[in-house]
Structure 1
Amino acid sequence: MTTALHDALGDYLAMRRALGYRLVRPEKLLNQFLDHLDATGVTIVTSEASLAWSRLPAGGDGNWWAYRLSVVRGFATYLHTLDPATEIPATDLLPWRARRASPYLYSTADIAALLTAADSLSTPLRRATIATLIGLLAVTGMRVGEALALDRADIDLRRGLLVVRHGKFNKSRELVLHPSTVAGLRGYLRERDRMHPTPTSPALLISTAGTRLLYCNVHWTFHRLVQQAGLTARSASCRPRIHDLRHSFAVASMLDAYAAGQDGQTRLTLLSTYLGHVDPAGTYWYLSASPELLALAGQRLERPRAGRS
């Protein structure tokens, strides 16, 4: 295949990133799409070729197929301005069915089981890195992408601070760390430097090759650990995902606040800032999956009514 499509992809990604988009997953998918075109001998983006690639793997989830096609559609729209022969896949080829997963709230025992399962990974550095990632997500509620984007320079162990520089909507924030978290990070860095003293990336969490972790690899590894830990789906829409460590942190934080007799609304506002939400309403959705938490909130609302006729 001519390099024209690959060159066009580089220009497309550069243009989108100049507008503030990160496009980590779309870049990976679009390169896979171009490899598919190359393997099938197709030299121009067509609706037929786009649909055939998007419906891989066979028997996959319909929403995943629709997402893959939407990524191709954006690139095809850009290509069409350069070459009118490029076909833009119609939006109704693979309709998107909106479906929000129910949060899988991890217990302390669940997280311990995941960390134990991480001990089975192939190399000492991989074991230490994945265990540190899971622990960091569980005690900070960071998004997975935020954790993977952390550089070593973003951690101030002396002051117990972590700077999230690549949050949603390109917003940055500082997170205060518990002393036990600081100790854990210090131990990881000590082991990391011993096992890989000259990484090629400034990333805090590195692979065995010394590079920044890739989301797709982390997702695959986490799925494997879930199976080894014996964690199973609670319903068709409630399956253990790595992102649910964020939900679990939010719920646990509010339960701790109620147990300590603190004002729930004040804690919710602080928690929203800590999680990097623009609107506290986004944090509330994280909490709505916990019947225990909603019951406690209801009890607090009822207390002012005590003694009234």
Structure 2
Amino acid sequence: MGTVRNVHIRTLPAPADRAGALLDRIAGADDPLFPSPAWAPVRFDRPLAVGAAGGHGPVRYTVAEYEPGRRVRFAFDPPGNGFHELSVEPLGPGRCLLRHVLEQDQRGTERLAWLLAVRAVHGTVVEELLDNAELALTGATARPARRGRYVRLVQRLTWDRPAATDVPEAAGLLHAALPVADHQDAFAVEWRPGMPADPEAWNVLPGDPSVVEYDGAEGLYGEDGKHLTYRVSVLVDESARRVTMSSRVRPHDRWGRLHWALVRRAHPVAARLLLRRAHRRLALAALRAGERHASHLVSDGVDAGSDPVVLMS
């Protein structure tokens, strides 16, 4: 067993109270710090306060200590131990230090995972968080963090996988187009802050389907073939933080039934793959959190931030 202490700091050319105001918005609908949607967002079961439980992705923790505008500490849930913490330290008029500290006792597979993958990914996520703070406060980032090849590989391999679900009642276009079908299924992924809410951006089908309709948060695509008709609905439910891709198929004759029998087993795999690819593509193309909020956070006359300093365990 060994104790890991991992520290990242960034000197910012802005007063501590302005940086602290960003810290107070962590996990909120307008979180300007956490690098979502490229990474799974921080979610809690209540507004930021001591006792709020949640985390980001598979990492679970609870708010253990909170000083508004200055510091927040998250304690890892059992069987984990230790904490990670964000704090703001004044450095004088117009300057402050934003610090992230992770401290944890690790053993066995936990230590191995840290050395093989978690340390590199953690370092990248924290540096992108500090980039967002600098960008939100100054409108620029002096030296943006870069995702190395290994981090990009881990990110790709661990990207969210669509989960099977029911066809939403709110998918009105789909229900109207094919009220009766021989087959239907649906898969869903998390809608992350910063991702488009316009269903037109979520057209997951390759090529140019002959049927394309939009109504509010739903997009409908499909083909009316001689032997088989299909429709694919993509419903973007921003309030439920969910994107659902639903399919319905109706063969018209024995050739249509034969065709569907041949592709039926492969369909769920292909549907999940298309939705996962669209989810990843849109997340990586989205504006960073700092960019989304810089326009109303930047003050006139503030200079770009200083270079980051990183201390790695």
Q: TM-score range by the shorter chain?
A: under 0.3
What TM-score, normalized to structure 1?
0.26
What TM-score, normalized to structure 2?
0.26
Structure with the higher fraction of residues in helix conformation: 1
Relative contact order higher in (CA < 8 Å, ≥ 6 apart)? 2
